[in-house]
């Protein structure tokens, strides 16, 4: 795991101070022709960046009072470089412990959810461990494992956090079932054109222990999927290649 950069931590502390204490900190110089309004805009943007850093790090509980003390200690020259480096080591070790905890907890939470969810009305569990529920029965064909599908979908983590949505992008997605995670490849085959389903995909059929961008390791994924069109593999292979 990458270590947290010192600059990122300083920006994070600055966000806490500016948002909770409403203080103006004028420790640096101002470039010529830069207005106070521009300084405010940059300060706000930096606060958003720092907040996004905290959210993406999933660092857990924090004591903002101690956070603020550390911020002022640095800017007031009360901390040496040696102390700062030591603090960064403490932080890095904690972040690595936190990452391990999150992955382990995600696995347990996912298993507990699936054990309860499979008893819910309409939920079907397959041999692979995938669970799905047909929300709207389609009237078209089912896709095969090598077919290409056009779908609308929305993906969420177990806590309800949305990480992907074709609806938000304003257009459906098209892809071959050979090029997606196992849970998608299997789950879409239970749908007919025009149908809608909820897929509950265990991490083993998704991104596993390592996870991927925006999805922590061992995450169970929940997808709302609408199958719009199926393009059989034979048709795709018959299409002329673009020059």
Is 94 noted as a catalytic residue in this protein? no
Q: Please identify which residue in the block is written with the tokens 């461990």.
A: 129
Is 164 noted as a catalytic residue in this protein? yes
Is 181 noted as a catalytic residue in this protein? yes
Is 108 noted as a catalytic residue in this protein? no
* Active-site position among 71, 132, 190, 207: 207
* Active-site position among 4, 39, 181, 228: 181
Beta strands in the chain (DSSP E): 124-125, 131-136, 148-157, 162-165, 173-176, 196-201, 221-231
Coil/strand/helix, residue 51: helix
Is 223 noted as a catalytic residue in this protein? yes
* Active-site position among 71, 153, 190, 200: 153
Q: Which residues contact 236 (CB under 8 A, 6 or more apart)?
A: 147, 148, 176
Token digits for 61? 């509980």
* Active-site position among 4, 53, 72, 164: 164
Q: Are 109 and 116 in contact (CB under 8 A)?
A: no
Question: CA distances (Å), 51 to each of 15, 17, 93, in order?
Answer: 7, 12, 21
How many Å apart are CA 96 and CA 89, to the nearest integer?
11
Is 72 noted as a catalytic residue in this protein? no
* Active-site position among 59, 67, 163, 228: 163
How many Å apart are CA 207 and CA 214, to the nearest integer?
11
Residues belonging to the active site: 153, 163-164, 181, 207, 223
């Amino acid at each position: 795991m990458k270590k947290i950069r010192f600059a990122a931590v300083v920006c994070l502390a600055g966000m806490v101070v500016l948002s909770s204490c409403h203080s103006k900190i004028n420790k640096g110089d101002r470039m010529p022709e830069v207005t106070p309004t521009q300084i405010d805009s940059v300060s706000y943007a930096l606060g958003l960046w720092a907040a996004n850093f905290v959210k993406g790090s999933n660092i857990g509980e924090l004591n903002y009072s101690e956070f603020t003390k550390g911020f002022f200690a640095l800017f007031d020259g009360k901390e040496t470089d040696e102390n700062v480096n030591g603090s960064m080591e403490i932080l890095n070790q904690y972040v690595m412990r936190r990452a391990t905890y999150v992955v382990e907890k995600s696995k347990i939470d996912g298993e507990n959810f699936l054990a309860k969810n499979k008893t819910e009305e309409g939920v079907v569990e397959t041999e692979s461990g995938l669970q799905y529920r047909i929300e709207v029965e389609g009237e078209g064909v089912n896709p095969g494992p090598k077919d290409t599908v056009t779908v609308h979908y929305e993906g969420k983590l177990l806590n309800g956090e949305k990480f992907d949505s074709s609806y938000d992008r304003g257009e459906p997605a098209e892809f071959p079932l050979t090029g997606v995670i196992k849970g998608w490849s299997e789950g879409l085959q239970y749908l007919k054109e025009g149908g809608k389903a909820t897929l509950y995909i265990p991490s083993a059929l998704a991104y596993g222990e390592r996870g991927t961008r925006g999805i922590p390791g061992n995450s169970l994924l929940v997808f709302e999927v609408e199958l719009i069109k199926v393009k059989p593999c034979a048709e795709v292979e018959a299409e002329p290649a673009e020059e």
